């Protein structure tokens, strides 16, 4: 695949960094903040990022397992988060090349659809199980997660960036 003009060459990603970032995102989601504080789903952002940038390493199986962890933690319908994360990972697998060709400030416009599909699967599974309609947070969540996409991308790509002169400085 030919790189788009002006895109920086990245170092290979460390699998330990992928695991650590996913576990950190899971830990952020597990924080007991209560219903008064709205936090974006950090795990959905991390899964989407790695699904776009490393689709062969982070796929639907990892999304499903982490979704089950979230289901158990939140005492929600078993498989509700798992379905949402699996839908997200399928979407990232389909659209990862398109997203990577876009500039960082254009990528959120592609990702908002994937985030909306994941949240729609979550809501639909809850409605089919007989739970009530969630509040407006589920409508705003994909938009706010898409706004956070450039920040998350910058943070998770930081360890892979090469130095400007092309010489990696090793300690």
What total of structural domains would you count in the chain? 1
* Predicted local distance difference test score (pLDDT) of residue 51: 96
* Predicted local distance difference test score (pLDDT) of residue 135: 80
User: Whole-angstrom distance between the N-terminal and C-terminal Cα of the chain?
Assistant: 32
Q: Which residues in the chain show pLDDT less than 50?
A: none
- Look at residue 71 and tell me if it is in a domain: yes
Half-sphere exposure of 136 (CA within 13 A, CB side): 0
* Predicted local distance difference test score (pLDDT) of residue 155: 94
**Dihedral angle at the C-alpha atoms of 109, 112, 113, 114, nearest 10 degrees?**
120
**Helix, strand and coil percent figures for the chain, each rounded to 5:** 65, 0, 35
Please give the residue range of the domain that contains residue 111. 15-30+38-160
> Is 23 within 8 Å of 29 (Cβ atoms)?
no
* Predicted local distance difference test score (pLDDT) of residue 5: 65
pTM (2 d.p.): 0.87
* Predicted local distance difference test score (pLDDT) of residue 37: 65
Distances (CA, A) of 7 to 39, 101, 138, 140: 32, 9, 34, 31
| pLDDT tens profile 111-145 | 999 999 999 999 999 999 888 888 878 889 999 99
- Look at residue 83 and tell me if it is in a domain: yes
Q: Which residue shows structure tokens 């930081």? A: 158
Beta-bridged to residue 161, according to DSSP, are 10
- Look at residue 166 and tell me if it is in a domain: no
* Predicted local distance difference test score (pLDDT) of residue 139: 87
- Look at residue 76 and tell me if it is in a domain: yes
- Look at residue 47 and tell me if it is in a domain: yes
- Look at residue 4 and tell me if it is in a domain: no
| DSSP 3-state of 58 | coil
- Look at residue 165 and tell me if it is in a domain: no
* Predicted local distance difference test score (pLDDT) of residue 17: 95
């Amino acid at each position: 695949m030919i790189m788009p003009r002006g895109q920086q060459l990245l170092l290979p990603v460390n699998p330990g960094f992928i695991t650590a970032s996913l576990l950190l995102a899971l830990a952020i989601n597990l924080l007991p903040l209560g219903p008064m504080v709205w936090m974006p789903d950090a795990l959905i952002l991390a899964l989407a990022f790695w699904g776009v940038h490393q689709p062969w390493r982070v796929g639907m199986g990892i999304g499903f397992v982490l979704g089950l962890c979230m289901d158990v933690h939140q005492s929600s319908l078993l498989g509700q988060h798992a379905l949402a994360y699996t839908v997200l990972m399928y979407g990232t697998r389909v659209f990862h090349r398109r997203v990577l060709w876009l500039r960082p400030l254009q990528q959120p416009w592609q990702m908002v659809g994937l985030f909306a599909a994941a949240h729609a699967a979550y809501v639909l599974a809850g409605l089919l199980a007989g739970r009530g309609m969630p509040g407006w947070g589920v409508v705003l969540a994909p938009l706010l997660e898409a706004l956070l996409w450039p920040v998350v991308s910058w943070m998770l790509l930081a360890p892979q960036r090469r130095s400007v002169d092309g010489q990696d400085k090793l300690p």
